[in-house]
Amino acid sequence: MDELIGRLAVKAGIDSAVAETTIGIVLGFLRNEGPTEKVQALIDQIPGAEAAIAASQNRGSMSRLMGGGLMAVGSRLMALGLGVSEIQKVARELFVFGRDKIGADQMGEIISGTPGLGQFA
What is the H or E stretch that residue 79 is in?
helix 69-79
Q: Is 81 left (phi over 0), alpha (psi -120 to 50) or beta?
A: left
Structure confidence by residue, pLDDT tens digits, 95-106: 999 999 999 999
Kindly tell me the burial class for residue 81, based on how many C-beta atoms sit within 10 Å of its own C-beta (0-12, 13-18, 19 or more). Answer: exposed
Structure confidence by residue, pLDDT tens digits, 15-71: 999 999 999 999 999 999 999 999 999 999 999 999 999 999 876 555 454 557 888
Residue 29 maps to which CATH number? 1.10.490
Q: Is 68 left (phi over 0), alpha (psi -120 to 50) or beta?
A: beta
Q: How many domains does the chain have?
A: 1
Structure confidence by residue, pLDDT tens digits, 85-96: 999 999 999 999
| Structural domain span for residue 96 | 2-120
For the segment 103-113, the average pLDDT, to the nearest whole number, is 95
Instruction: Tell me the residue length of the chain.
Output: 121
pLDDT for 67: 59
